[in-house]
Structure 1
Amino acid sequence: MAALDVAGKNVLITGASAGIGRDLALLLARQGANVALLARRLELLEDLAAECSALNSKVALAVRCDVTERPSCQAAVQKVVEELKQIDIIVLNAGMSMGCYFEDIKDLSDGDKMLSLNVMGVANVLHYAFPFIPKESASRIVVISSVAGVVGVPFRTLYCASKWAVHGFCASLRTELLEAYGDKAPKVVVSCPPEVATGLNTNRLKFGNDVTAQFNEETAVPSTVAAEKILESIREGVRIGLFSRVHQWLHSLYNCFPSYIDKIVIDGVKKSHRAPRYGNMPSKM
């Protein structure tokens, strides 16, 4: 099957004001896609929309939306549809992360915020957008997950819970679409980046702690590279989009050799992170 040409496609992106969402919007604009940019910070979206228009987007919309609030989602989708009529590709990208052991959590309310954003934030926007997604194989429902959605990762208990929930949601949705529309079913794509150098990882929820585990940005994937990998998964319509052969291997073997994979992940996190538990946090000036 030929890769999808995104030129002229209408693409809705949540969490578009920064990081992966922003870089993906610019990449799609260069490819000639129309972009609807959703996030809470309207001023940043307006600047981004202007950049997209200056590239190759015929239409670039900036729409304020809090994906945890259903009336906001409904109003945002309505505004997008009034302009674009249909949504060929929806990229559900908004999310937040964490950086502490479960036994170190002092305030569980951050978990409520995370699950509301990472799980229901996906369902909320998709619920209102779904009627306007053409039921054909060229359509894409894209959810930005994480490697932490396919293997367990230290410091990420509730983050992993949110991403594993999203994988289950997408797997179920895929079967419903296949049953209802057969070969014409839209492709459900779950992209699983490793740690990316974005605010998601530098502004992790603290769960009541003074500091969170910090990753070494030198080991992180640049957000521009992540955007390119995600676009590749979108064009190919893959079920699970992993960024490297190592991640594919971890995913494939996790259920066969879980203890071995656990050790590999733990060792990897120890090399890439600074944390109070590791005793390697930088001293305060």
Structure 2
Amino acid sequence: MDLAGKNVLITGASAGIGKELALQFARHKANVALLARRVEALEEVAAECRLASGNQAKVLPLRCDVTDRASCREAVLGATNEMQTVDIIILNAGVSMGCYFEDIKDLSDADKLMDVNFMGTANVLFYALPYIPKRSDSRIVVVSSIAGLFGVPFRTFYCASKWALHGFCASLRTELLDAYGSNSPAVVLTCPGEVSTSLNSSRLKFGNDVAAEFLDSVAEPTSQAANKILEATIAGVKVGFFTKAHSWLSSCYGWIPATIDGIMIKGVRSRMRAPRYGNW
């Protein structure tokens, strides 16, 4: 796929994976609409994107709160007024958590997490879908997580939000195929593991003093994660795994769930710091 001149809309574009994806698309001379709540941060990313494209790409920083439908509608209209179409949409905005369900003291954070991770994706796509060309080279890309494939300690509601996205995308894929056949846009789910972004240090605490965090030493660089998402986007794969191990575990989950549960527990214990583990 030649990305030059493609129109790309990215949520959560002010930092982390969203920012890095914006820069990578800009380097390929794609036009990018950058959506996030923090306007000043977006303006900085936009300036970097213009530089990365050699001022050959259109770059639109647009304020958007993915939990506010009016804000989503305004941002999508702002993008499409300039770009006409959305050839590739990257639904990346998200928040995380870091506590056991039995340690939750305030359930209101669960509402916020589900609103951002699940409904935030649906909200933006609802307004953007009419502008996505019904062609096989169009892409609807959802940044999920391995927590959308397996049960992970400290992540009950986070896993729930990502599993919801997987079901949503699987159903959406069948609808698009039914409606447009070979012209159906590809629905791509990407499933990162631990990535070094601010998501790790800004986990919802659910009423606790601190939230468990994975160790930075085990985290994948943002640029590397974004590159894998870009590859999955171009290929149009249904599920973009980051490692062969994740692909294997996913294929075996229905056969040996207890074994994989044990692998998840062991992996989290070796990669997390948390009051429960006594290493905070």
Per the TM superposition, whether the score is higher than 0.5 is: yes
1:9: how far off? 0.5
SS of corresponding position for 1:141: strand
1:53: how far off? 1.0
1:73: how far off? 0.4
Please state if 1:15 is matched with 2:12. Answer: yes
CA distance in structure 2 between the partners assigned to 1:214 and 1:46 by the alignment:
29
CA distance in structure 1 between the partners assigned to 2:168 and 2:78 by the alignment:
26
CA distance in structure 1 between the partners assigned to 2:40 and 2:192 by the alignment:
27
Hey, what does 1:32 align to over in structure 2?
A: 29
Note the 1:215-230 alignment, pairs <5 A.
215-230=214-229
1:91: how far off? 0.3
Hey, what does 2:193 align to over in structure 1?
A: 194
Identity of aligned residues (%): 63
The one-letter amino acid paired with 2:29 is G
The one-letter amino acid paired with 1:48 is V
1:45 to 42, 45, 58: 42
**What do residues 81-108 of structure 1 show as CA deviations (whole Å, max 9, x unaligned)?**
0000000000000000000000000000
Hey, what does 1:275 align to over in structure 2?
A: 274
1:59: how far off? 0.0
1:242: how far off? 0.6
**What do residues 41-96 of structure 1 show as CA deviations (whole Å, max 9, x unaligned)?**
01111111111111215200000000000000000000000000000000000000
SS of corresponding position for 2:34: strand
Note the 1:1-285 alignment, pairs <5 A.
4-56=1-53, 57-281=56-280
Moved over 6 A (4+): none
The one-letter amino acid paired with 2:190 is S
TM-score normalized by the length of structure 2: 0.98
1:5: how far off? 2.0
1:198: how far off? 0.5
1:202: how far off? 1.4
CA distance in structure 2 between the partners assigned to 1:137 and 1:226 by the alignment:
24
SS of corresponding position for 2:199: helix
SS of corresponding position for 2:255: coil
CA distance in structure 2 between the partners assigned to 1:198 and 1:117 by the alignment:
17
1:178: how far off? 0.2
CA distance in structure 2 between the partners assigned to 1:119 and 1:211 by the alignment:
24
The one-letter amino acid paired with 1:38 is L
The one-letter amino acid paired with 2:65 is D
1:164: how far off? 0.1
SS of corresponding position for 1:221: coil
CA distance in structure 1 between the partners assigned to 2:258 and 2:264 by the alignment:
10
Unmatched 5+ stretches in structure 2: none
1:274: how far off? 0.9
CA distance in structure 1 between the partners assigned to 2:140 and 2:213 by the alignment:
31
The one-letter amino acid paired with 2:13 is A
**What do residues 5-47 of structure 1 show as CA deviations (whole Å, max 9, x unaligned)?**
2121000000000000000100111111110000000111111
SS of corresponding position for 1:188: strand
CA distance in structure 1 between the partners assigned to 2:209 and 2:124 by the alignment:
33
1:280: how far off? 1.1
CA distance in structure 1 between the partners assigned to 2:29 and 2:169 by the alignment:
28
1:130: how far off? 0.6
CA RMSD of aligned residues (A): 0.6
Moved more, 51-60 or 72-81: 51-60
The one-letter amino acid paired with 1:259 is A
1:132: how far off? 0.3
**What do residues 238-267 of structure 1 show as CA deviations (whole Å, max 9, x unaligned)?**
000010001101111111100000000100
